[in-house]
């Protein structure tokens, strides 16, 4: 089946630095990708919709200047956490929509664990 | 209000037993999906049930949907230790297939 990768899988950074997380669809093209955030033992919360070639759409309460999203190609979306703070520590998961065989299916990446010290 | 609330929050059973997890949602849906997440990993899609379906099977999984009660259940039969994971229901928001609202999840532990 389709594969979505994320890089890095884990990152530790100092407070105030920026961190970039990549989400790639490896064997299909995705005009739309989604970024979710998950706190320990909690559910996933949709942060934003990443649209290839246009601006991302952010969910209510998500700071667009804090979480920069770029979807420059049909296989890559990046999430940059700017000026990270300890409260940004979380598990970030992306997903991409595949329309293979005329059926829409959502594939999730393995997640990136961010720890801000 | 929270879409996709699940119960129980945690379920502990012995191998061979059946596990039932329930999910409730608040708005009308086109479909409801169940996902599995192993600890610290990404999500794996298990099964999708459309709003006009009442029951669906996939291997040891059985999903029911009651749109009048806005609820769904996931049954895993003859559970195995490898089924230990968190299980989430998710509903589609609006017309975008990928914009999912997830329930709080059920942590299932299957003891060998």
Q: Which of A3, A43, A91 to mutate to test the interface with B (most CBs of B within 10 A)?
A: A43
- Asked if A106 and B93 come within 8 Å (Cβ–Cβ), the reply is no
Q: State how far the Cα of A9 lies from the Cα of A31, in Å rounded to an integer.
A: 23
The distance of A6 to chain B (nearest Cα, Å) reads: 10
The distance of B59 to chain A (nearest Cα, Å) reads: 18
Residue B26 has pLDDT above 90, yes or no: no
Q: What is the pLDDT of residue B2?
A: 35
- Asked if A41 and B93 come within 8 Å (Cβ–Cβ), the reply is no
Residue B1 has pLDDT above 60, yes or no: no
Tokens 């409260």 belong to: A87
Q: What is the pLDDT of residue B4?
A: 58
Sign of the four-CA dihedral A58, B47, B104, B1: positive
Q: What is the pLDDT of residue A101?
A: 66
- Asked if A44 and B103 come within 8 Å (Cβ–Cβ), the reply is no
Q: Cα angle at B33 between B70 and B71, to 5 degrees?
A: 15
Mean pLDDT of chain B: 90
Structure tokens belonging to residue A85: 């703070």
pLDDT in tens, B45-71: 999 999 999 999 999 999 999 999 999
């Amino acid at each position: 089946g389709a594969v979505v990768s994320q890089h890095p899988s884990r990152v530790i950074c100092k407070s105030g630095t920026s961190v970039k997380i990549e989400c790639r669809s490896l064997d299909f093209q995705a005009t739309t990708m989604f970024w979710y955030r998950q706190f320990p033992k909690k559910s996933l919360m949709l942060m934003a919709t990443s649209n290839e070639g246009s601006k991302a759409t952010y969910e209510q309460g998500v700071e667009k200047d804090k979480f920069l999203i770029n979807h420059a190609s049909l296989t890559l979306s990046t999430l940059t956490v700017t000026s990270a703070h300890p409260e940004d520590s979380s598990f970030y998961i992306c997903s991409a929509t595949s329309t293979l065989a005329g059926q829409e299916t959502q594939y999730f990446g393995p997640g990136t664990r961010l720890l801000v010290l | 209000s929270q879409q996709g609330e699940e119960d129980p929050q945690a379920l502990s059973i012995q191998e061979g037993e059946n596990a039932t997890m329930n999910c409730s949602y608040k708005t009308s849906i086109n479909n409801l999906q169940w996902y599995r997440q192993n600890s610290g990993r990404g999500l794996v899609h298990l099964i999708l049930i459309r709003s006009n379906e009442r029951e669906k099977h996939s291997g040891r999984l059985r999903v029911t949907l009651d749109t009048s009660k806005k609820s769904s259940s996931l049954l895993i039969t003859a559970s195995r230790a490898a089924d230990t994971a968190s299980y989430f229901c998710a509903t589609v928001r609006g017309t975008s297939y990928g914009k999912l609202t997830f329930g709080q999840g059920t942590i299932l532990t299957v003891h060998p």
